[in-house]
């Protein structure tokens, strides 16, 4: 799979996909094979920065103590202060609403135990807990700007239970060249994560939200 072939495939996909009255996302689907996903070393969990974003920036919420309150307020879409954690611990609906509203949560490292106690039961199953692999657990003195700028255009790519990866890599308003570069970025990082590289990839598809998938590989 090379960039030129990919651009041609995306152009063709655009031509055959019916127009909808909303902006469709463009999804990359990678079917895996020959992996025992019960073994942690075979599981995929990657946080990948997309150079061209995915058409809509991620929303970021910070869970912080007084040390990071001002810094987080300037850079994040919302902050929840440590003193307000109890309200979310007592009200599961409130915590669920928060989890649904934001793509990434950043937490202050020295209060992670309190974050886990207040939000873990809701955030955990939704895979929304602040993850150190994404840089989302930060010290009490921290400059948020560069992290937040990166997270705005970061996607989480996982295959832990089923041999399947499906992620949004953009939307139909983006150019085919931009979509192609995002796809190649994700594909290459997944490829290098797999123990058998290409031998662990069964097939690759790209599709619009409501469209039929087109096979790339």
Residue 3 reports pLDDT greater than 90: no
Q: Where are the beta strands (DSSP E) in 66-191?
A: 78-81, 104-108, 137-138, 154-159, 164-171
Residue 92 confidence (pLDDT): 95
Residues 6+ apart with CB under 8 A from 173: 23, 55
The predicted-structure confidence for 133-189, as pLDDT tens digits, reads as follows 999 999 999 999 999 999 999 999 999 999 999 999 999 999 999 999 999 999 999
β-strand 104-108 against 137-138: which pairing, if any? Answer: parallel
Let me know: does 23 contact 30? Beta carbons within 8 Å: no
Residue 1 reports pLDDT greater than 80: no
Secondary structure (DSSP) of 186-198 = HHHHHHHHSTTGG
pLDDT band at 2 (very low <50, low <70, confident <90, very high): confident
Residue 86 reports pLDDT greater than 90: yes
Residue range 76-101: mean pLDDT, rounded:
97
Rounded Cα distance between 205 and 215, Å, is: 4
Q: Walk me through the domains of the chain, giving residue ranges and CATH numbers.
A: 3-55+153-215 (3.30.190.20), 60-151 (3.40.50.790)
Residue 217 reports pLDDT greater than 90: no
Residues 6+ apart with CB under 8 A from 25: 54, 55, 168, 170, 171, 172, 208, 209
Residue 8 confidence (pLDDT): 92
Residue 165 confidence (pLDDT): 98
Residue range 105-112: mean pLDDT, rounded:
98
């Amino acid at each position: 799979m090379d960039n030129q072939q990919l651009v041609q495939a995306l152009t063709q996909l655009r031509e055959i996909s019916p127009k909808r009255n909303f902006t469709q996302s463009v999804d990359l689907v990678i079917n895996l094979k020959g992996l025992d996903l019960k073994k942690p070393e075979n599981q995929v969990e990657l946080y990948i920065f997309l150079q061209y974003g995915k058409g809509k920036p991620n929303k970021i919420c910070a869970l912080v103590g007084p040390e990071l309150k001002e810094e987080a307020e300037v850079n994040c879409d919302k902050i929840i202060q440590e003193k307000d954690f109890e309200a979310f611990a007592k009200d599961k609906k409130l915590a669920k609403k928060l989890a649904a509203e934001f793509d990434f949560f950043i937490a202050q490292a020295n209060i992670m135990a309190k974050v886990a106690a207040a939000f873990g039961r809701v955030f955990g199953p939704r895979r929304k807990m602040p993850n150190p692999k994404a840089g989302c657990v930060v010290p009490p003195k921290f400059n948020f700007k560069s992290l937040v700028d990166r997270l705005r255009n970061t996607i989480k790519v996982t295959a832990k239970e089923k041999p399947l990866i499906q992620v949004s890599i953009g939307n139909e308003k983006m150019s085919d060249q931009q979509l192609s570069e995002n796809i190649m970025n994700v594909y290459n990082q997944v490829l290098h994560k797999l123990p058998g590289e290409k031998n662990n990839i069964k097939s690759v598809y790209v599709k619009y939200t409501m469209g039929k998938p087109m096979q790339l590989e």
